[in-house]
DNA sequence: GCAACTGCTTACATTTAGGTAACTGCTTAC
DNA sequence: GTAAGCAGTTACCTAAATGTAAGCAGTTGC
């Protein structure tokens, strides 16, 4: 099989890696993309998000939500009614990840098909 | 912000998650995509790949290469010359990941720009 | 007045990934 | 003959991620 980037110098290869790593640093991990999908799908409340993702624990969810908020991928709003109501929503910025998620979804579907065919 | 998948039922949301997870199970981790990029860029020999990826160790590289081979993303060939020569190359299948990698790269570049702007 | 829901936090344990360094058997170059 | 390269393996260790379980302060419903 021919190489994909035949023209690439070592530095170009390295630059490509570092850039991809920048992305992975933010969105990799077992849960982040799943949480983003859940919120993009309209789940807003903590327990709602928690129930939508199989096997996630409150602890992990709380931590990941903080991470995502720090990276401005989601917004946390507290409405001081009683009882206190908390809502997580998608930011504009998280929509820049749409294509990444779409491609991951396409590839996942394709890969599953491949596995089952064997 | 409006939700991205407003029409989606709980089951659709779940299906989307599971499919994306299938993809992540194969390609997530600190090193896999970087190794794929290295091999796609034309690096073939173990030491060559090792040198192309900053801070990776032989142990981790060996393990990840086995994983990638199992998933048929790369091909390992042993030429029984003396000394033994081993070559890792990209399979056709790994090219189905091209778009995923491209989108990760785009997003990483964009994200870096965003961070620096602040 | 008791169970159940909310949005979490805490303590503790285990699992997994990853790092470090040494070492192997073989070969070539000086 | 000795250093250095090749393609790894092995043993040991640390750190990070994740799991488990319980609890809390407040509210609602029966």
Average pLDDT over residues A83-98: 95
Q: Is the peptide bond before A83 cis (omega within 30 degrees of 0)?
A: yes
Q: Check residue B83 and give its pLDDT.
A: 83
* DSSP structural state of residue B25: H
State the pLDDT at residue B82: 77
| pLDDT tens, position by position, B16-70 | 999 999 999 999 989 999 999 999 999 999 999 999 999 999 999 999 999 999 9
| Beta strand ranges found along chain A (DSSP E) | 74-79, 85-90
Residues with Cβ within 8 Å of B114's Cβ and at least 6 positions away in sequence, in order, are A93
* Spatial contact of B56 and B31, defined as CB atoms under 8 Å apart: yes
Residues in B touching A91 (Cβ below 8 Å): 1
The Cα–Cα gap between B32 and B20 comes to: 17
The total of structural domains in chain B comes to: 1
Residue of B nearest to A39 (CA): B3
C-alpha torsion angle, residues B39, B43, B46, B52 (rounded to 10)? -90
Q: Classify residue B2: in a domain, yes or no.
A: no
Residues 6+ apart with CB under 8 A from A22: B108, B109, B111, B112
Distance (Å, whole) CA A50 – CA B49:
41
In-domain check, residue B81 = yes
Does a structural domain hold residue A73? yes
Is the CB of residue A34 less than 8 Å away from at least one CB of chain B? yes
* Chain D footprint bases within 7 A of protein beta carbons: 5-11, 17-23, 26-28
Note down the domain range covering B40. Answer: 10-117
CB A94 within 8 A of CB A40: yes
CATH number of the domain where residue B76 is located:
1.10.10.10
Per-residue pLDDT, B8: 65
Chain C: positions less than 7 Å from a protein CB are 5-11, 17-22, 25-28
Average pLDDT of A81-92?
92
CA atoms of A85 and A46, how far apart (whole Å): 10
Phi, psi values for residue A86, rounded to 5°: -120, 135
Answer whether residue B43 is part of any domain. yes
Flag whether A2 is in a domain.
Answer: no
């Amino acid at each position: 099989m021919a190489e994909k980037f035949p023209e690439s110098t070592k530095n170009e290869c390295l630059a490509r890696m570092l850039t991809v790593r920048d992305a992975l640093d933010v969105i990799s991990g077992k849960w982040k993309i799943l949480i983003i999908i859940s919120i993009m799908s309209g789940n807003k409340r903590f327990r709602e998000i928690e129930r939508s993702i199989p096997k996630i624990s409150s602890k992990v969810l709380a931590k990941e939500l903080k991470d995502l908020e720090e990276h401005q991928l989601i917004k946390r709003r507290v409405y001081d009614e009683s009882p206190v109501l908390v809502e997580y929503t998608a930011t504009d910025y998280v929509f820049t990840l749409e294509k990444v998620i779409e491609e991951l979804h396409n590839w996942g579907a394709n890969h599953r098909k491949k596995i089952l065919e064997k």
